[in-house]
Amino acid sequence: MNREAARTRIESLRTTLLHHNRRYYQMDDPEITDADYDLLLRELNDLELEFPDLITPDSPTQRVGAPPLEKFGAVTHRTPMLSLANAFSGEEIREFDRRCRRFLGSDDPIHYVVEPKLDGLAVNLLYEYGRLTVGSTRGDGTVGEDVTLNLRTIPAIPLSVPRMEDPPPPPGGGMAAVPERIEIRGEVCMEREAFRNLNIRRTEQGAPPFANPRNAAAGSLRQLDSRITARRPLTMFCYAIATAEGVAFRTHEAVLRTLAAWGFQVNPLIRPAVDIEECIHYYHQIGQMRDKLPYEIDGIVIKVNDLLLQERLGAVSRSPRWAVACKFAAVRERTVIDDIVVQVGRTGVLTPVAVMRAVRVGGVMVSRATLHNEDEIRKKDIRIGDTVMIQRAGDVIPEVVEVVQTARIGSEKPFVMPETCPECGSRVVRMEGEVAHRCIGMACPAQIREHIAHFASRGALDIDGLGDKVVAQLVTNGLIHDPADLFFLTKEKLLGLERMAEKSASNLLEAIGRAKSPPLDRLIFALGIRHIGEQTAKRLAQACGKLDALMAATSEELQTVRDIGPEVAASIVGFFREAANLQVIQKLRSAGITPMETARLQAAPLAGKTFVFTGTLSRMGRNEAKALVESMGGAVGSAVTKTTNYVVAGEAAGSKIEKARQQGIAILDEAAFLALTGIKVVPCNS
Ligand code: IVH
């Protein structure tokens, strides 16, 4: 075949294959057998081998994977990938609806879209000029891993989408033109049958089976060698467009329709609902179907359909107000508690843990469950030897729900909290007002271990090769006593340890060396200050910019940072007052640890301003207006006082206006208020 003929045939084969992909993934109605599909694909492959310059990155042959990577790159999401608030019952779902309406200041029923909540992992696909250019995992919601090569191997993911200048869609397709840059979100998962077959193959090959389809999907997607991913039966359902430059949608339904028209797989069970009762009905209906579906779901997601309303509702912390995940009741299993052991955590808290006969709960083998604290054990009257019901909901750590009293035989032994620490023998105390027992030993190896393991963990300094076992070995051998000691380790010291070879020692030292300039927020998180999780650490880094500024901040200053109240502020101030902590920080500095500075967030435009509302606003509800002011750093008061800066007068404003006038406080009408916030508010029913 000559080159021109090959080009024509290649193009025709690609169009045909694309068509059959759509029949298979979008319409669930294939027109040809898998074998015939493979024949066409092989023909295309052969032609491309003969004329390699005719290969394009979006050819259906380009899904076989590429040579392995050393490490995944990091991708900062253009729009953060949020998580969802949970509801567990019809009543909690109604409460979500009431919250939305209260916030919007409206009694009208809200139209929703109900979707199955797929139990896989969320990914983001970036298409630029119609081509899939970057695919990433959710990561911490802000930064994910670049798994583009792996995602490209998943047949349900289009490698390209038709561009504006492409020919119009078939009649009735209703396809919107694809903008230059779009980001598509969805869930990568593995169907149950594919998962079973994969595990059969793995067992035959002597590889450990995956615990559940979700783990299998995650493990497959996070392969450095995309050729392995290409052999794993992954699929993807899309449920959102995060960024779409130049296109506007009015409803979530329109988004989903467009996704399907562009060639993405959209879950066929998604339904619109005219009010919350219809959503609840559908929640029960999908719950009934759950076990019969080809893929695992752990609930449904209810989303406000109108995108303007979604925008007005906005987000709190890390979850949108306009959506809720309604989880199905957890899967329960019965087992026996063989022992209750005590673990000592980073802050010296002793946690009783049930050691149980292993059982499979919702697809995962479980043999340990936290019992939280002594009070909890007393309340549930849990004894060693008891038969118990345990449950696991979604990703949540398994818990003991109740004791099967009728299975008691009399030889069960009550649990007693030890009076001395099982790790260091120091006294164990229970502080007033706390449920926890703590070991007071300053040199408790368990606390030191946990503290250092946390310092090196993924969300913290992310030091490769410094897992729990190695940390324990280093602490037990007296090589490290605090996190800063890590940076003074030498090869000679490491080689003295059991099972530590030359290669692993230099790998570890290299990994430690790489952690010397962490982003500020990770270092703050790594310090292990009580109550400071990854999210709060980020906020602190953005607010302070430098470690010195954080160390010098007063409790009042800290409380101006979003989500930080008196307790958290006190914990931070207390931490930096402690001589031992300051010593560790000093040691970190002398080891050359220099956190990268964080760009400080611009001061909030309404910071220090207090607003009082009176009368009814026409464009938004009271709660919405309050959230708007607070999101810009301002505060809202209920009465006009000396500290009030503005009184916002809506329709039928009351006596507050008079009071404001008397005190010479600025009075704004609704339009002036909106102008001040600089936010354009669009009426919801346009
Ligand atoms: S919407 C801001 N829709 O659930 C809303 N999420 O807890 C973002 N998930 O990370 C998600 N099915 O991994 C949405 N139909 C669905 C979903 C879904 C599964 C997962 C997703 C997300 C998590 C949120």
Distance CA 125, CA 90 (A): 34
Q: Ligand 1 centre and the CA of 300: distance in Å?
A: 9
Same structural domain, 310 and 346: no
Nearest protein CA to atom 11 of ligand 1, as residue: 83
Alpha-helical (H) ranges within 90-205 are: 90-104, 148-151, 192-204
Distance CA 349, CA 680 (A): 50
Alpha-helical (H) ranges within 348-489 are: 374-380, 445-456, 468-476
Q: What are phi and psi of 162, to 5 degrees?
A: -60, 140
Burial class (CB in 10 A: 0-12, 13-18, 19+), 42: exposed
Same structural domain, 340 and 441: no
User: Which of 365, 399, 414 represents a domain boundary (last residue)?
Assistant: 414
Tokens of 92: 């909690």
Q: Ligand 1 centre and the CA of 120: distance in Å?
A: 9
Q: Are strands 131-137 and 121-128 parallel, antiparallel or unpaired?
A: antiparallel
Q: Which of 77, 142, 239 to mutate to test the pocket of ligand 1 (most atoms within 8 A of CB)?
A: 239
Residue 531 resides in a domain: yes
Residue 19, pLDDT above cutoff 60:
yes
Beta bridge partners of 352: 342
Q: Ligand 1 centre and the CA of 273: distance in Å?
A: 18
Tokens of 73: 């790159």
Closest CA to 399 of 372, 437, 375: 372
Q: Ligand 1 centre and the CA of 84: distance in Å?
A: 7
Q: Which region among 281-285, 510-514, 632-636 has the lowest average model confidence (pLDDT)? A: 632-636
Instruction: Identify the pLDDT of residue 686.
Output: 28
Please indicate whether residue 626 is annotated as part of the active site.
no
Q: Could you tell me which residue, 474 or 318, shows the higher pLDDT?
A: 474
Residue 18, pLDDT above cutoff 90:
no
Closest CA to 530 of 574, 586, 486, 562: 574
Give me the DSSP letters along 528-579.
T-TT--HHHHHHHHHHHSSHHHHHH--HHHHTTSTT--HHHHHHHHHHHH-H
Nearest protein CA to atom 12 of ligand 1, as residue: 117
Q: What are phi and psi of 653, to 5 degrees?
A: -65, 150
357-371 per-position pLDDT tens digit: 988 886 678 899 989
Query: Of ligand 1's atoms, which has the minimum distance to the CA of residue 300?
Result: 15
Instruction: Identify the pLDDT of residue 136.
Output: 96
Nearest protein CA to atom 2 of ligand 1, as residue: 82
Distance CA 224, CA 114 (A): 35
Q: Ligand 1 centre and the CA of 66: distance in Å?
A: 29
CATH number for the domain harbouring residue 452: 1.10.150.20
Instruction: Identify the pLDDT of residue 302.
Output: 98
Q: Which of 81, 83, 295 to mutate to test the pocket of ligand 1 (most atoms within 8 A of CB)?
A: 83
Q: Could you tell me which residue, 431 or 680, shows the higher pLDDT?
A: 431
DSSP code for 664:
T
Distance CA 332, CA 389 (A): 6
Q: What are phi and psi of 403, to 5 degrees?
A: -90, 140
Same structural domain, 570 and 625: no
User: Which of 414, 449, 483 represents a domain boundary (last residue)?
Assistant: 414
Same structural domain, 410 and 422: no
156-195 per-position pLDDT tens digit: 999 988 764 444 444 444 455 667 889 999 999 999 888 8
Query: Of ligand 1's atoms, which has the minimum distance to the CA of residue 325?
Result: 7
Nearest protein CA to atom 24 of ligand 1, as residue: 83
- Kindly report the average pLDDT of the chain as a whole number: 88
Distance CA 341, CA 339 (A): 6
Q: Ligand 1 centre and the CA of 122: distance in Å?
A: 7
Q: Which of 118, 183, 316 to mutate to test the pocket of ligand 1 (most atoms within 8 A of CB)?
A: 118
**551 sits in which H/E element:** helix 547-552
Beta bridge partners of 469: none
Instruction: Identify the pLDDT of residue 23.
Output: 75
Query: Of ligand 1's atoms, which has the minimum distance to the CA of residue 84?
Result: 7
Query: Of ligand 1's atoms, which has the minimum distance to the CA of residue 119?
Result: 19
Which of the four pLDDT bands, split at 50, 70 and 90, describes residue 129? Answer: confident
| DSSP SS3 for 401 | strand
Using CB distances shorter than 6 Å, the residues near ligand 1 are 82-84, 115, 117-118, 122, 138, 187, 239, 301, 320, 323, 325
Residue 529 resides in a domain: yes
Residue 449 resides in a domain: yes
Q: Ligand 1 centre and the CA of 200: distance in Å?
A: 30
The sign of the dihedral angle between the CA atoms of 279, 281, 287, 288 is negative
Closest CA to 93 of 67, 106, 112: 112
Same structural domain, 436 and 303: no
Instruction: Identify the pLDDT of residue 678.
Output: 67
Cβ atoms of 337 and 368 closer than 8 Å:
no
Percentage of the chain with pLDDT > 90? 56
Nearest protein CA to atom 23 of ligand 1, as residue: 83
Query: Of ligand 1's atoms, which has the minimum distance to the CA of residue 240?
Result: 1
Same structural domain, 442 and 589: yes
Spacing of C-alpha 600 from chain mean position: 24
Q: How many domains does the chain have?
A: 5
Q: Could you tell me which residue, 344 or 204, shows the higher pLDDT?
A: 344
Nearest protein CA to atom 16 of ligand 1, as residue: 117
How many CB atoms within 10 Å of residue 331? 17
285-310 per-position pLDDT tens digit: 998 888 788 899 989 999 999 999 99
Q: Catalytic pick from 71, 117, 303, 656?
A: 117
Q: Which region among 21-30, 446-455, 493-502, 657-666 has the lowest average model confidence (pLDDT)? A: 21-30
Residue 683, pLDDT above cutoff 50:
no
Percentage of the chain with pLDDT > 70? 94
Residue 70 resides in a domain: no
Which of the four pLDDT bands, split at 50, 70 and 90, describes residue 37? Answer: confident
224-244 per-position pLDDT tens digit: 998 889 889 999 999 999 988
Query: Of ligand 1's atoms, which has the minimum distance to the CA of residue 117?
Result: 12
User: Which of 294, 310, 327 represents a domain boundary (last residue)?
Assistant: 327
Same structural domain, 136 and 264: yes
Same structural domain, 429 and 508: yes
DSSP code for 601:
P
Instruction: Identify the pLDDT of residue 28.
Output: 61
Residue 81 resides in a domain: no
Residue type, 394: G
Q: What are phi and psi of 333, to 5 degrees?
A: -140, 165
Q: Could you tell me which residue, 467 or 382, shows the higher pLDDT?
A: 382
Instruction: Identify the pLDDT of residue 174.
Output: 47
Q: Ligand 1 centre and the CA of 523: distance in Å?
A: 29
| DSSP SS3 for 409 | coil
Residue 24, pLDDT above cutoff 90:
no
Same structural domain, 225 and 372: no
321-357 per-position pLDDT tens digit: 999 999 887 778 889 999 999 999 888 899 999 999 9
Which of the four pLDDT bands, split at 50, 70 and 90, describes residue 108? Answer: very high
Same structural domain, 9 and 120: no
40-58 per-position pLDDT tens digit: 988 998 999 899 899 888 8
Cβ atoms of 514 and 591 closer than 8 Å:
no
Query: Of ligand 1's atoms, which has the minimum distance to the CA of residue 116?
Result: 15
Average pLDDT on 377-393 reads 90
CA distances from 188 to 142, 153, 217 (A): 19, 12, 7
Same structural domain, 32 and 136: no
Same structural domain, 654 and 524: no
Tokens of 677: 């916030």
Q: Ligand 1 centre and the CA of 281: distance in Å?
A: 20
Alpha-helical (H) ranges within 116-251 are: 148-151, 192-204, 213-221, 226-230
Residue 315, pLDDT above cutoff 80:
yes
Q: Ligand 1 centre and the CA of 80: distance in Å?
A: 13
Q: Are strands 323-327 and 85-87 parallel, antiparallel or unpaired?
A: parallel
Interaxial angle between packed helices 622-631 and 90-104, expressed in degrees from 0 to 180 and rounded to the nearest 10: 80
DSSP code for 363:
T
Residue 77 resides in a domain: no
534-559 per-position pLDDT tens digit: 888 988 998 888 999 999 999 988 88
Q: Ligand 1 centre and the CA of 215: distance in Å?
A: 17
603-614 per-position pLDDT tens digit: 567 877 899 999
CATH number for the domain harbouring residue 660: 3.40.50.10190
Residue 323 resides in a domain: yes
Query: Of ligand 1's atoms, which has the minimum distance to the CA of residue 120?
Result: 13
Instruction: Identify the pLDDT of residue 61.
Output: 84
Q: Which of 123, 301, 311, 316 to mutate to test the pocket of ligand 1 (most atoms within 8 A of CB)?
A: 301
DSSP code for 52:
G
Residue 71 resides in a domain: no
Structural domain that includes position 280: 86-327
Instruction: Identify the pLDDT of residue 25.
Output: 67
Instruction: Identify the pLDDT of residue 566.
Output: 83
Distance CA 420, CA 527 (A): 27
Average pLDDT on 24-33 reads 72
